[in-house]
Amino acid sequence: MNIEQITDKLVEISERLQHRAAINLLASIEDARKRNTFHVAVLGEFNRGKSSLINAILGRTLLPADVLPMTACLHVLEYGREETCTIVWKNRPAQTIPLTQEALKSVGADGEVDVTQIQFVVIRLNHPLLQNGLTLLDTPGVNDVEASRVEMTYQVLPHCDAAIFLLDAAAPLTKSEADFLQNKVLHYQIESLLFVLSKADRLDEEELEEAMEGASERIHQLLNQEAHLVPFSANRVWQERANQVESAEVNRLFERIQILREQARQSFGKRQVSNLQLVCQMLNEQLAFEQTVQQLNHTKLVEYEKALYSRRVELESAFTLLLASMDKVGRETLEQMFRASCTRLKEKLVEDISYQLQIMEGDLEKYWNKNLPLQIERAIKQFAEEKAVEIKSYLDRFCQHVSSEYHRQFRIELLLTLGSDSLQMPQWASASKGRGQHTVHQVMEQVLPVTIGMVAGNLILPGIGTIVGGALASVITTVVRGNQKEQMREALMEQVPDLVHGVITHYQREVEKTIEQWFVQMIATLESYHREQEEQLLATVQQHKDAASAPVPAFEQRELDNYRQMIEECEQTLKRGVQHV
Ligand SMILES: Nc1nc2c(ncn2[C@@H]2O[C@H](COP(=O)(O)OP(=O)(O)OP(=O)(O)O)[C@@H](O)[C@H]2O)c(=O)[nH]1
Ligand SMILES: [Mg+2]
């Protein structure tokens, strides 16, 4: 069997099983084989500057951009000798519209056109950068409130060879972005990725460097590979254009796109095979589902459902207890640890400062106003950095502990309720539920700071220097100036304990707020994970029930066996290495 024959076989089975996702993926595999264009999707959450980036690199203000969600359907930008703009509708003939920003606004989020009826909009431009087959896909933001727009972006992924992923320079790689990357982009073997920190003009050099470092680290952790990350500012590119300066940013981006193209070309065969394997996996899951439906009758399923409902109620109080203990034991222990360390820090600081005051020969007031604030600030920073290691390790262990407790008490319990022949949940059903395939540990980790550096960042309060300075200044004004040196020394010494106490307590409270936030988020995350799990299990039973109550079984056993065998053959061939045509 060659790759074409495998594809044909899988198309036949997918159509018979009416598996939409598999049909779509297979169509994209065939399409990728035939076309000689290179599809780059520009992806990211809404308002990241996707449309602005495309406008800037092409030097055309065509795509509408706004702070509110703007792009409402897929825009395909490709080469055309004659420039045109066409709406490809779902259920009616394509329609040409003027190639202007005004006209494109009509298919935007607040335009007058019903975009749910649009498949995509094709914009053909006579642009040298598109001449060699580069096709850019502008997509709606993936966190848009409008689910249908998000769905549109998901559906286009199988048709892409590479992606440019836009991150906000001010908050690179949020949790939902990480989810999207892992569950969607990588799922379809789009490994040629370029990350862009957009709106780079909004940060100064130092902030940008920090943001780049942070984002690279997070991407690296997530993907387990070197991150290709570049900063970009559409605004700057336009300024350069106005001054007729060649834009280094645009050039760099295009160099990167060339590299992506080469990467994608090299991995083309491998990607096709992986995508076909993905289809096999989807179809196998569907077959397993159909099989269980055949074997279990409706009455049995109703029993399962009842058992699941009542077990769920029984487990509820145990779950509430687990949540409460996370707060009570987990958070309080950490806070106690931290408080004890703060007390030691206070004692040490009081001791150090008093000693220095005692032996100080020079100008006491200068020491108090100039050197001391720096000394306290530095001590707090160093303390925070040391504590970060301990707290990070505590959070990791705590996460691990809750995760294993959860699995032991609930996950396994709920699954056992479904009996030994536990029901098969097809991937398409669980994937659409989001976090189904992740473990509790992975899910909870996403709300915690990833690195020790990030923990330290959370423990060092911005503006702590000002707080320290303020506290010291108020002391010096109450100590009578013009006093004899020895009297002043004594008066200041007296103030030291209160002063240190005040500053550190303030610091400690702020940190405790951060700790509290971490726990609130962890608890909320576990709770929503648990509800999703319950819902998923109930939905699984419901799906089987629905299918089992159909008057005629959808498939004959013989037919299912036949498909299974065909898929098995395809899988074997793909594994052995397949001939490409
Ligand atoms: N400062 C600055 N603002 C930018 C830059 N690029 C885009 N913006 C602004 O960011 C907002 C969003 O830009 P869009 O290009 O519409 O973002 P998008 O990702 O296409 O958004 P959706 O289509 O809604 O998903 C607009 O108000 C832009 O003017 C930039 O480089 N610098
Ligand atoms: Mg847009």
| pLDDT on residue 481 | 61
Who lines ligand 1 at CB under 6 A?
Answer: 44, 46-52, 65-67, 69-71, 140-141, 198-199, 201-202, 233-235
Distance of CA 74 from the midpoint of ligand 2 (Å): 10
Distance of CA 489 from the midpoint of ligand 1 (Å): 59
- How confident is the model over 410-439, as a mean pLDDT? 57
135 falls within a domain: yes
189 falls within a domain: yes
On whether the CB atoms of residues 75 and 123 are closer than 8 A, the answer is: yes
Q: Which residues contact 486 (CB under 8 A, 6 or more apart)?
A: none
- How confident is the model over 526-544, as a mean pLDDT? 83
Return the best residue to mutate from 47, 180, 203, 241 for the ligand 1 pocket (most ligand atoms within 8 A of CB). Answer: 47
Closest CA to 545 of 300, 198, 241: 300
| pLDDT one-digit tens code per residue, 457-509 | 888 887 777 888 888 887 777 665 666 788 888 888 998 999 999 999 999 99
Instruction: Answer yes or no: do 310 and 377 share one domain.
Output: yes
* Ligand 1 atom showing the smallest separation from residue 64 Cα: 16
507 falls within a domain: yes
Residue 370 has pLDDT above 90, yes or no: no
**416 vs 526: which has the higher pLDDT:** 526
pLDDT band at 50 (very low <50, low <70, confident <90, very high): very high
581 falls within a domain: no
Domain termination site, one of 214, 248, 266: 266
Instruction: Answer yes or no: do 250 and 363 share one domain.
Output: no
Mean model confidence pLDDT for the chain: 86
Instruction: Answer yes or no: do 249 and 340 share one domain.
Output: no
Instruction: Answer yes or no: do 353 and 449 share one domain.
Output: yes
What is the total count of domains within the chain?
Answer: 2
Instruction: Answer yes or no: do 310 and 246 share one domain.
Output: no
Return the best residue to mutate from 55, 62, 66, 196 for the ligand 1 pocket (most ligand atoms within 8 A of CB). Answer: 66
| pLDDT on residue 436 | 45
Domain termination site, one of 246, 266, 286: 266
Residue with tokens 């982009």: 185
* Ligand 1 atom showing the smallest separation from residue 44 Cα: 19
Distance of CA 43 from the midpoint of ligand 2 (Å): 9
91 falls within a domain: yes
Distance of CA 46 from the midpoint of ligand 2 (Å): 7
Q: Which ligand is nearest to the CA of 65?
A: 1
* Ligand 1 atom showing the smallest separation from residue 46 Cα: 25
pLDDT band at 418 (very low <50, low <70, confident <90, very high): low
Distance of CA 198 from the midpoint of ligand 1 (Å): 9
288 falls within a domain: no
Distance of CA 49 from the midpoint of ligand 2 (Å): 7
Distance of CA 94 from the midpoint of ligand 1 (Å): 29
Return the best residue to mutate from 52, 104, 167, 241 for the ligand 1 pocket (most ligand atoms within 8 A of CB). Answer: 52
Instruction: Answer yes or no: do 213 and 346 share one domain.
Output: no
Ligand 1, atom 26, lies closest to the CA of 66
Instruction: Answer yes or no: do 262 and 301 share one domain.
Output: no
Q: Which ligand is nearest to the CA of 57?
A: 1
- pTM for the model stands at 0.66
Ligand 1, atom 17, lies closest to the CA of 49
Helix (H, G, I), strand (E, B) or coil at 303: helix
Distance of CA 159 from the midpoint of ligand 2 (Å): 19
Instruction: Answer yes or no: do 307 and 233 share one domain.
Output: no
| pLDDT on residue 431 | 38
**484 vs 129: which has the higher pLDDT:** 129
* Ligand 1 atom showing the smallest separation from residue 236 Cα: 31
Structural domain containing residue 371: 297-550
On whether the CB atoms of residues 441 and 563 are closer than 8 A, the answer is: no
On whether the CB atoms of residues 39 and 47 are closer than 8 A, the answer is: no
- DSSP strand pairing (84-89 vs 118-125): antiparallel
pLDDT band at 222 (very low <50, low <70, confident <90, very high): confident
Distance of CA 185 from the midpoint of ligand 2 (Å): 19
Q: Which residues contact 267 (CB under 8 A, 6 or more apart)?
A: 191, 192
CA distances to 237, 248, 322, 405 from 325, in Å: 53, 55, 5, 11
Measured from the Cβ of residue 382, the count of other Cβ atoms closer than 10 Å reads 12
- The DSSP code sequence of 379-417 is HHHHHHHHHHHHHHHHHHHHHHHHHHHHIIIIIHHHHHH
* Ligand 1 atom showing the smallest separation from residue 63 Cα: 15
